[in-house]
Structure 1
Amino acid sequence: MSSDQIPDIYFGTEVINRVSFLREDSEFIGNSVSHPSTRFIFFNNVNPLVNKYLQNKLIILTNGSNQLKSDPSPDHQVIKTGLSSLPEWNEAVRTWKEDNKNKNADLRDNGKPTFLFLGIEDASVGLDLKRLKIEDDDLDTHSEDEKYLDHQGRYQGIPYYAVDLSKSEKLSEIILNFVNKELQVFSDGKEKSDENSTKNSQPTPLDNGIFYTHSRRHFLGFTSKEASLYSHGSMYFDWLTRNRFCPGCGSKVIPIHAGGKLWCTNVATKENGKSACPVHNASVSNVSFPRTDAVIITAITNAERTKILLSLGKRHAATRMYACTAGFMEPSETVEVATKREIWEETGVVCSSINLVMTQPWPFPGNLMIGCLGVVEFNGVNENIHLGHDKELEDARWFDVDFIRKFVYPNEVADDDNFNEENILIPMEQSVAYHLIKMVIDQAHERKVQNGGKL
């Protein structure tokens, strides 16, 4: 697949420049977390703060006022008032800046939010700095209304942070009430739940659809930008939540470098001058940085592109969703070897032609889906299905591509064509599995056109 054919993959759209080398620059971090233009998204136990009634579901707030622009649509609203109007927020930011700079051992103790620097939206990802500069110059107010951060004249853009409020219940409640007050989305068209509201009472955040969601129904309803911001924050906070103690000495660890690295708080030394913590002594410490679990996922077809092999996992048996073959990579495996292994282990099919096509971050909780195309040489043996190896699947079968095409292009299906008598499903459009299936279907169609209507 050429670069111009690769889809804008959900959860993986490039929306910020991570400028990861600036995470340990305490001057930059201190300035960016306090800047008026800075955007914040919020989490509680890895669940993002959303408003389910709006098109822009992910709640994004800023330090300064009048930083966000509204969309003409009535279902798209932004909050104009800045967080800097809240004394509790200003205190939380000030405290975290000092804790992060000094590596204070109580950085994420109870009562304190955890801040995570995501990156800056800058010219490299399409931000129009010239337009923002003009807006700045047109203002009659002082610099606190700056529309973007300029660090050393070299790094210019809008900073983005994620904030975990799991251990800061009070601040979380303040943020929820702030959003509820500023974002008046409740209307007669959005009925209150009898369980969550009382007659004649003021609508609560929950009444107005403002809450931390755990539902994929909301995660998969984000815009591409929201999905990528959510995925970025969710994966980091999942890692930070899982890792609270040093694997080398058992001492408390804290997230330094604005959330990008774990640091053991054990500063004791041995008689030989070395640290009492073996992690501090290691030249390379991969337990100090986030991990991503690699998963290969493969669309399997034949050379002629007339068939596609799809599998029904046991956990999807009730929904009848047939998908691509997938599995975790193991240590010391190449992508190609892992793909061939998973195909054979799950389906019994022998495949030797593997091509890496596309990748997708998958924040449930921290995977990288490595999308591949496997081409099976039909010879009476290779294509035979056998489900008796690891017994993960309920079913696997070779489908005609013309049949699966009707799921990808439903507008081509005649109203009287009851083609799906088994009520099977294929993966959702947001997934890499869908795009891999669509790629095979499109390749089949191209061949059919080239061959005068025959595959």
Structure 2
Amino acid sequence: MTDIFFGTTTTLNRFSFLRANDDFISRTIVDPLSPTRLVFYKQDGKNGVHPYMIQRSGKYGLLNLQLNTLPSHLVQIFHDWSAKNSKKTIDLRNDVTLVFLGLDEDGLDEKYLFNENSLTSSFIYPNSYKLKDYPQFKYDKFQGTPYYAVDVTHCQQLQNYLSSFEDVDIVNSMMSILAVSKNESSLFAYSKMYMDWLMRNRFCPGCGQKVIPVDSGTRLLCQTPKNECPVKSSAVSNVCFPRTDPVIIVGAVSSDGKKILLGNNQRHPAGPNGKRMFSCIAGFMEPGETIEESTLREIWEETGCSAREVKIVASQPWPFPANLMIGCFGVVHFDGVNELINTELDNELADCRWFDADEIKTLLNGGDLEDVSLPMEGSIAYELIKSLALGKY
């Protein structure tokens, strides 16, 4: 399950230890020969942040531009950000907010981390746009193409420039985002989670003062003296880094593998074709809970069924807004009691059924089954269901 939407491994190496290196960050921005690339976001005023995307021939992709192809007055905005970033000034995100995403090692003979799934091969560019052929950026023994995510909410000049391209829009439709390539979806998930976190966190929860994004946008800094802020003075501070909320998603199966338990959530009524999506059981982990405990609890709370075995299988980032789906299998031993369905405990499911594995195989092969549809291909839910139907668990 390595090729999962939002979780496909690409040639982008995060180089997280370089985020706090001001010299490195500055060079990626101000070096006139740096091939630095940018993806763009804008807030919508409703506690949301959305990507700039380009559409051509019905196909969506993230808008991706080289920094040094921008007009000089826009390049200067990024130079100014670089200077403020080095000095950690309080007005750091007055114009733009940047997050260093990493170096794309695509095309290098020697790679430090990943060797396949070219990040850049599927990008769509505006018709009037011309990429410049720069050499790979080098710093010490590291090299690649630097990537940044940019929030342009407070920079009207950049907004005007981006809107000047044909077929470029700010997109908030999940279905449009799900139409991009798997490689781009990984870049979106990564960058969007940071953009969303920075948008939601502008003040210190300990003292209420402004915080600024340091380490190239990946950590928040409160500038209040340590002894005056309960967050800064605590032994361990867990509010200055982005949060990721773990979510259990479990494919429940009978011990003989012949029955698969799927549910239709109250939030997913029948579509125009009369089909309802039946999917895996899912829910947030709670504090002080193991993955195994959370899996057993979620199965019981949503379906009334009792499982006794848990297998942890795979994971999927889910950037709406910042979840990590932890995929598991839960095995139910039928005994006349364990398999009995009761959806009235938490009333989250509109319907829940034990399906024959052969029925699910029919759906996977493009067949029809009454009012039932499955999750999208490439999602961890689909992959879990597919594995169960094929007996691979």
* TM-score bracket for this pair, using the shorter chain length: 0.7 to 0.9
1:298-343 superposed Cα distances (whole Å, 9 cap, x missing partner)? 0011122111000011111334111100000000100000000000
Offset at residue 227 of structure 1 (A): 0.4
Question: Which of 333, 337, 342 in structure 1 is aligned with 2:293?
Answer: 337
**Which deviates further from its counterpart, 330-339 or 275-284?**
275-284
Q: Which amino acid counterpart does residue 89 of structure 1 have in structure 2? A: L
Offset at residue 264 of structure 1 (A): 1.1
What is the CA–CA distance in structure 2 between the aligned matches of 1:13 and 1:223, rounded to whole Å? 10
What is the CA–CA distance in structure 1 between the aligned matches of 2:187 and 2:329, rounded to whole Å? 28
Q: Which amino acid counterpart does residue 52 of structure 2 have in structure 1? A: L
User: Cα 1:283–1:98, aligned 2, differ >3 Å: closer, same or farther?
Assistant: farther
1:217-239 superposed Cα distances (whole Å, 9 cap, x missing partner)? 21111112110111111101111
Question: Which of 80, 83, 93 in structure 2 is aligned with 1:95?
Answer: 80
| Aligned residue number for residue 167 of structure 1 | 154
What is the CA–CA distance in structure 2 between the aligned matches of 1:22 and 1:211, rounded to whole Å? 32
What is the CA–CA distance in structure 1 between the aligned matches of 2:256 and 2:229, rounded to whole Å? 58
| Aligned residue number for residue 40 of structure 1 | 38
Aligned length, in residue pairs: 360
Q: Which runs of structure 2 are paired with 1:209-288 in the superposition (5 Å)?
A: 209-266=167-224, 269=225, 274-288=226-240
**Which deviates further from its counterpart, 44-53 or 330-339?**
44-53
| Aligned residue number for residue 116 of structure 1 | 99
Runs of 4+ in 1 over 4 A off after TM superposition: none
SS of 1:278's equivalent?
coil
| Aligned residue number for residue 341 of structure 2 | 385
Offset at residue 353 of structure 1 (A): 0.5
SS of 2:231's equivalent?
helix
**Which deviates further from its counterpart, 352-361 or 34-43?**
34-43
What is the CA–CA distance in structure 1 between the aligned matches of 2:14 and 2:155, rounded to whole Å? 26
Structure 2: unaligned runs, 5 residues or longer: 44-48, 106-110, 118-131
Task: Confirm whether residue 406 of structure 1 aligns to residue 362 of structure 2.
Answer: yes
What is the CA–CA distance in structure 1 between the aligned matches of 2:269 and 2:80, rounded to whole Å? 50
SS of 2:101's equivalent?
strand
Question: Which of 139, 142, 162 in structure 2 is aligned with 1:151?
Answer: 139
1:374-418 superposed Cα distances (whole Å, 9 cap, x missing partner)? 1111111100101121111111110111111122111xx4xxxxx
Structure 1: unaligned runs, 5 residues or longer: 1-5, 65-81, 129-143, 181-207, 414-418, 447-455
SS of 1:433's equivalent?
helix
- C-alpha RMSD of matched pairs (Å): 1.8
Offset at residue 425 of structure 1 (A): 1.3
Preserved CA contact (<8 Å) 2:67 2:75: no
Q: Which runs of structure 2 are paired with 1:348-363 in the superposition (5 Å)?
A: 348-363=304-319
Q: Which amino acid counterpart does residue 56 of structure 2 have in structure 1? A: Y
Q: Which runs of structure 2 are paired with 1:12-51 in the superposition (5 Å)?
A: 12-15=7-10, 16-35=12-31, 36-45=34-43, 46-51=49-54
Task: Confirm whether residue 317 of structure 1 aligns to residue 313 of structure 2.
Answer: no
Q: TM-score, normalised by structure 2?
A: 0.88
Q: More strand per residue: 1 or 2?
A: 2
Offset at residue 20 of structure 1 (A): 0.8
Offset at residue 88 of structure 1 (A): 2.4
Bigger-Rg structure (1/2)? 1
What is the CA–CA distance in structure 1 between the aligned matches of 2:297 and 2:168, rounded to whole Å? 45
**Which deviates further from its counterpart, 289-298 or 397-406?**
397-406
What is the CA–CA distance in structure 2 between the aligned matches of 1:8 and 1:127, rounded to whole Å? 12
Question: Which of 426, 431, 434 in structure 1 is aligned with 2:374?
Answer: 426
- Which structure has more RCO (C-alpha within 8 Å, separation ≥ 6)? 2
Preserved CA contact (<8 Å) 2:35 2:136: yes
What is the CA–CA distance in structure 2 between the aligned matches of 1:285 and 1:315, rounded to whole Å? 36
SS of 2:7's equivalent?
coil
Q: Which amino acid counterpart does residue 26 of structure 1 have in structure 2? A: D
